Amino acid sequence: MDRISRLRGSDTSYAIAELIMSEIDDKLVSKIGNNYHRYIDDFEFGCKTLQEAEEILSVLQEVLSSYELELNSSKTEITKLPEEIDPQWLHELQKYKINMSTDAVQKRSLLSFFDLTMNFLEKEPSEPILKYAVIRTSSHIVRASNYPLFQRILLQWATAEPSTLPIIIDFIAFYKSAGVNVDLAEVKRTLQFIIIENCRQGHTSEVCWSIFGMILLSQSFDKEALLELKKVENPFIALLTLDARSRGLISATYNFPLWESLMNKNELKTENWILAYEALRKGWLPSVDDSNYLIDAEGFSTLANNDVEFYSTDLIDQYDPKANYQYINRLSAEELRYFVHRDVPLRRLPF
């Protein structure tokens, strides 16, 4: 439901939305019974016939209308059961065996898996196929000789589906730390392309992950990417970019006028509060009037005096790209080198 969806955001908004939806529940139960499930503003009804489903849909819309609400037609459908539990693409990708026996076999296997993934993506573009394919490869160590191919596959997937970036950035950083010759120029071009395109589209999460990737891999920012970043009013994009500047990845003389204009006490009461707090506290941006407005800012003065921070540069410095991947994380340095490079024999079997 459109208006309820727009209402959601803060905890207060959730409470107001739930009050309204509880009233709607009471009216629905009195008209059709309680054979349904609701999660916030999503409804799921169980019906015996198509006619019953259509009648319930009509009643639901009638009840919603009394609160000046309406169904989102793009998310409303009547589905005939039984329904396939898992889609075909998931079955096929799950059972595909990525063969690791030799360099040549692994290369052919990776190419076949890539082709299979892209074929399914063409048929089902709205399904999370690429995200699953990326996760599927995390249980395999790609040999150094095949890494250039693997990186090109990963970057194509990242460009097609930027939501895969958190995992792909981890993989690239992991192989770089393992001594593999990573094509950082290609990675930089891809991440900056994603930054530029998603800044223009207002997709802030994708931009944040791309900036994080640039920081993690110590890549400098080009002018075209900075021109797009400086236009975006988002505190998280701003903090990540300012962090990159503090690390020398952006010229120290490069200015961000929009973010500088937000450095005042009033912004502590807006959605930009974390930028107004952290950028001043860390010395990344001066206040508009060169004052330290945190000294007497209610609540924030206490936080500042106790060195409370919400953005930690230390956590980025200490970030371990393999920590979230059990298969990779349990390998010792010796075992890791063996599986990636195959140039030093193992003294013992790891498994």
By C-alpha distance, which of 22, 23, 42, 25 is closest to 33?
Answer: 25
For 21, other C-beta atoms within 10 Å of its C-beta total 19
pLDDT tens-place string over residues 244-268: 999 999 999 999 999 999 999 999 9
- Indicate whether 335 pLDDT > 80: no
Q: Measured between alpha carbons, how far is residue 256 from residues 77, 203, 229, 239, 259 in Å?
A: 46, 20, 9, 11, 6
In terms of pLDDT, which residue wins out, 126 or 205?
Answer: 205
CA torsion 320→323→328→333, rounded to 10°?
A: 50
pTM of the model: 0.74
172: pLDDT confidence band, cut at 50, 70 and 90?
very high
* Chain centroid to CA 127: 16
Burial class (CB in 10 A: 0-12, 13-18, 19+), 25: middle
Round the average pLDDT of the chain to a whole number and report it: 87
Alpha-carbon gap, residue 236 to 241, rounded angstroms: 8
The answer to whether the peptide bond before residue 82 is cis (omega within 30 degrees of 0) is yes
pLDDT (0 to 100) of residue 307: 94
99: pLDDT confidence band, cut at 50, 70 and 90?
confident
By C-alpha distance, which of 318, 332, 336, 326 is closest to 135?
Answer: 326
pLDDT (0 to 100) of residue 328: 57
Q: How is residue 287 annotated by DSSP?
A: -
Look up residue 162 and give its two tokens. 């930027």
Q: How is residue 318 annotated by DSSP?
A: T
- Indicate whether 336 pLDDT > 60: no
- Indicate whether 329 pLDDT > 80: no
Angle at Cα 55 formed by Cα 51 and Cα 56, nearest 5°?
120
Alpha-carbon gap, residue 144 to 201, rounded angstroms: 36
Look up residue 74 and give its two tokens. 């793009």
**For a pLDDT cut of 90, what percent of the chain falls above it?**
63
pLDDT (0 to 100) of residue 98: 84
Burial 247-279 (b: 16+ CB within 10 A, else e): eebbeeeeebeebeebbbbebbeeebbbbbbbb
Average pLDDT over residues 146-167: 93
Look up residue 339 and give its two tokens. 């599986």
Alpha-carbon gap, residue 87 to 21, rounded angstroms: 32
Residue type, 227: L
The β-bridge partners of 38 are: 43
By C-alpha distance, which of 99, 124, 119 is closest to 110?
Answer: 99
Angle at Cα 249 formed by Cα 148 and Cα 200, nearest 5°?
80
Q: Which residues contact 15 (CB under 8 A, 6 or more apart)?
A: none
Look up residue 282 and give its two tokens. 């860390």
Average pLDDT over residues 143-171: 92
- Indicate whether 57 pLDDT > 60: yes
- Indicate whether 83 pLDDT > 60: yes
Element holding 162 (H helix, E strand)? none
Q: Is residue 184 a contact partner of residue 216, using CB atoms and an 8 Å limit?
A: no
Using only the alpha carbons of the chain, give its radius of gyration: 26
Q: How is residue 9 annotated by DSSP?
A: S
pLDDT (0 to 100) of residue 136: 85
Strands (E), the chain: 36-39, 42-45
